[in-house]
Amino acid sequence: MRALFILMCFLSFKAFAEVPDASTSGIKAVKNWARSRVKAVASVRQNYYPSPGFWGEEIIYQIQVDRFNNGDLENDNQNVEEYQQTHQATADWFGLPDYRHGGDLQGIIDRLDYLKDLGVSVLWLTPVFKHNGSYHGYCTVDFTEIDPGFGTKEELKNLVAQAHTKGIKVVLDIVVNHMCNPKTTYRKLPNHYGCADQLNNKTWRGEAGGSEHQGELDFAPDFFPPFKSQFFFNRCGANSQSDMQGIGPAAVYGDFVATMFDFDTRNYDFQEIFTDLHKYWIAYADIDGYRMDAAKHVTEDFIAYFSTSIREYARTLGKKNFFVVGEVAGPSDWIGRRVGKMYSNPHNPDDHGNVPLSLIKRMWELKSIYLSNPIAPYPGLNAAYDFAHGGTAIDVLLNRRPSRALEDHFFGGYLSDIANQGDYRLTWNLLEIHDWPRFVSHDPTSPERSALGLSYLAMAEGSPIIYYGMEQGFNGDCHFGNMNAGRANQEIQRECKGNSHSLYRQDMFVGGMYRLGSTVGTINNQAYIGKVKPTKSPEWTHDPMLNRNHDVYKISRKMNNIRRSCKALKYGQTKFRWVSVGTNGMFAFSRVDGGYEALVIVNTSWQKRGIPELTVNDARNGQRWVNLLNANEQAWGNGYGKLNFAGLEIIGNTVMVFVPDYALGAYNSTLEAHLCK
């Protein structure tokens, strides 16, 4: 019987290994193939890792796979772009910052215990599917394979399995708005804006798509066969930078850039096939969530279909709270139309706000599915990023704007637009990301600033994102005195003085060719740019890039663990208690969940500041509140709703976390702090 089962699985895998070409086999054949892949792989596995009960508890660590750690030297030359091969064969490594540097899945596996020690509970990996050779992975060419430079399907499965044994979940970054192919061109050029405008109008009116202004693609022979159909692409032509960053129709319907061809995400056949291709990776690798890259640049009905269908499929595997978070780099109404309820009544989609009628039609078709989900009974994303919060927090923490700006954000319309569609506590918060400068890039010698940013993230509402290396003080600073790229040195120096994204993506391993600076002296001493002999990193406890003996790392680990121990910090909503006037300031806020409260005090200046009386919920006369970071620092209720700190001061660039004495947990000698009960 077992032999028969194995034979059936083999035949099933063999059947879907023969990838159909949509242009010759037809779209129906592609749909059947995509569906069969999911069924075949799901039939092999029985037990799946359960989802978190509440994703707002999680602490996320973002990994730029190519730059994190080189665990397998054998795959370093796989899928490397031609320009890199050409220059690396010479003494002059022109273009080095944008080379593939060797990071891979095995490198992440080798550091899982380090990440557990830091206190993170979710890994967000930048795209790992096969791409065009660009190190960042955001130019996918095949959604069915892992990029050979990153490893194999089996290594992804192993990474997820080993992460799960350590209580760490894995979220894959997926590109949802385009597919790359450098050899594919337009045989008929589009009318760019006419095409985008017409497609946009039809979306809002709920009409069938298509436009006489669309171009016609000439697919290269190596184009991903299942998507080799004109019907799967908008064909409006390449966007300008302003198109891409704007909120006009081209932002949704134009090609991201040349050779990145924009999907027609309103096409129902495409929606089904694309979703099935991603169901496969849940069944195969047991991943826990998807991060939808460029979710601003797809139609709302696609997001509703993908989010609802992916969550429902994961539920059939026992993953009851599969997470879908989206990158929507746009105004709050664009985020609101893509998150949670999507400006609509989930029970009666005809009761809606300013949304396209194509979304309402899709919601009626999905209604019975999403309403059957007890945790996420809505069609949209579980969450999005609050980029406005991140930008405001950066400015406040670095004293560019008054502390009042942060309070204004929490009580402004932008946040309300997001919070009214879903649970804001699920939002992913950040001070750094692969598209933003390092938080300390303009203060590159200050470990205090690094620690301040990490502390604020751990205390703020929403799930904190630690961008790889932030806990090691990464600052994106080039060291011109330690460069060895031949005649390319001057080119790299010019790039270092600009705003290249490569500055945000420095190497975190000793064999890396692009090791930039840090606010931490021991890490900064590792800085080097130039030719290298690939070297496997030492075991993590002896890795000089993973130094755990400095304050930045220690404070990050301490704050992460405090957050995870305190119900108020995991579940509580934000109530601002006090803000100073002007920059170089100080502010205080509470996180409150029912009867639980934690009071957070932040000093963004370089000087000590006295702490004024602050309002808290439990300020009974004589009620003692204790700083978890130093139990000798205390305050007492005055019986009139406020705490008196009796002349206590807060050091510059630090954070205090006070809880009532009855919530004070045991002292942790490793963390050198108290946790909550």
Where is pLDDT greater, at 6 or 564?
A: 564
Cβ neighbors of 200 (< 8 A, separation 6 or more) are 249, 252, 253
Q: Which residues, listed in sequence order, are joined to residue 97 by a DSSP beta bridge?
A: none
In terms of domains, do 457 and 358 share one? yes
In terms of domains, do 18 and 51 share one? no
Tens of pLDDT, residue by residue over 210-255, are 999 999 999 999 999 999 999 999 999 999 999 999 999 999 999 9
Instruction: Compute the distance between CA of residue 128 and CA of residue 64 in angstroms, rounded to an integer.
Output: 10
Instruction: Compute the distance between CA of residue 240 and CA of residue 222 in angstroms, rounded to an integer.
Output: 27
Q: Are strands 654-660 and 596-603 parallel, antiparallel or unpaired?
A: antiparallel
Instruction: Compute the distance between CA of residue 474 and CA of residue 561 in angstroms, rounded to an integer.
Output: 22
Provide the domain limits for residue 16. 2-42
Kindly report the pTM of this predicted structure: 0.96
In terms of domains, do 50 and 17 share one? no
Query: Is residue 440 domain-resident?
Result: yes
In terms of domains, do 464 and 453 share one? yes
In terms of domains, do 669 and 559 share one? no
Please determine, for residue 195, whether its predicted confidence score (pLDDT) is greater than 80. yes
In terms of domains, do 102 and 34 share one? no
Confidence of residue 17 (pLDDT cuts 50, 70, 90): low
* Three-state DSSP class for residue 369: helix
Instruction: Compute the distance between CA of residue 625 and CA of residue 635 in angstroms, rounded to an integer.
Output: 5
In terms of domains, do 77 and 165 share one? yes
DSSP secondary structure code for residue 243 in this structure? H
Q: Which residues, listed in sequence order, are joined to residue 650 by a DSSP beta bridge?
A: 609
Number of H helices, E strands in the chain: 23, 31
Q: Which amino acid appears at position 167 of this protein? A: G
Estimate to the nearest angstrom the gap between the alpha carbon of 226 and the chain centroid.
28
Query: Is residue 488 domain-resident?
Result: yes
Instruction: Give me the number of domains the chain comprises.
Output: 4
Task: Give the tokens for residue 537.
Answer: 């990193």
CATH number of the domain that residue 371 is part of? 3.20.20.80
In terms of domains, do 453 and 532 share one? yes
Length of the chain: 677
Query: Is residue 13 domain-resident?
Result: yes
In terms of domains, do 136 and 225 share one? no
* Three-state DSSP class for residue 166: coil
In terms of domains, do 541 and 526 share one? yes
Tens of pLDDT, residue by residue over 617-648, are 999 999 999 999 999 999 999 999 999 999 99
Instruction: Compute the distance between CA of residue 142 and CA of residue 227 in angstroms, rounded to an integer.
Output: 10
CATH number of the domain that residue 635 is part of? 2.60.40.1180
Q: pLDDT value at position 46?
A: 79
Please determine, for residue 5, whether its predicted confidence score (pLDDT) is greater than 90. no
- Return the residue matching tokens 């390092």: 438
Burial class (CB in 10 A: 0-12, 13-18, 19+), 312: middle
Residues of the chain with pLDDT > 90, as a percent, come to 95
Confidence of residue 16 (pLDDT cuts 50, 70, 90): very low
Please determine, for residue 312, whether its predicted confidence score (pLDDT) is greater than 50. yes
Query: Is residue 404 domain-resident?
Result: no
Please determine, for residue 290, whether its predicted confidence score (pLDDT) is greater than 70. yes
Tens of pLDDT, residue by residue over 334-366, are 999 999 999 999 999 999 999 999 999 999 999
Domain end call among 233, 262, 291: 262
Between the alpha carbon of residue 183 and those of residues 134, 176, 469, the distances in Å are: 15, 20, 36
Q: pLDDT value at position 647?
A: 95
Domain end call among 545, 565, 585: 565
Domain end call among 518, 545, 565: 565
Instruction: Compute the distance between CA of residue 175 and CA of residue 129 in angstroms, rounded to an integer.
Output: 9
| Mean pLDDT computed over every residue of the chain | 95
In terms of domains, do 128 and 237 share one? no
Query: Is residue 391 domain-resident?
Result: no
Q: Which residues of 241-252 are buried (b: 16+ CB within 10 A; e: fewer)?
A: eebbeeeebbbb
Tens of pLDDT, residue by residue over 437-489, are 999 999 999 999 999 999 999 999 999 999 999 999 999 999 888 999 999 99
Q: pLDDT value at position 10?
A: 45
Q: Which residues, listed in sequence order, are joined to residue 625 by a DSSP beta bridge?
A: 635, 660
Query: Is residue 399 domain-resident?
Result: no
Q: Which amino acid appears at position 65 of this protein? A: V
DSSP string, 579-632: E-SSSS-EEEEEEEETTEEEEEEEE-SSS-EEPPPEE-S---TT-EEEETTEEE
Q: Which of 278, 282, 300, 270 is nearest to 379 (CA)?
A: 300
Q: pLDDT value at position 481?
A: 86
Tens of pLDDT, residue by residue over 81-102, are 999 999 999 999 999 999 999 9
Query: Is residue 298 domain-resident?
Result: yes
In terms of domains, do 373 and 495 share one? yes
Confidence of residue 167 (pLDDT cuts 50, 70, 90): very high
Angle at 165 between CA 163 and CA 169, to 5 degrees: 40
Query: Is residue 410 domain-resident?
Result: no
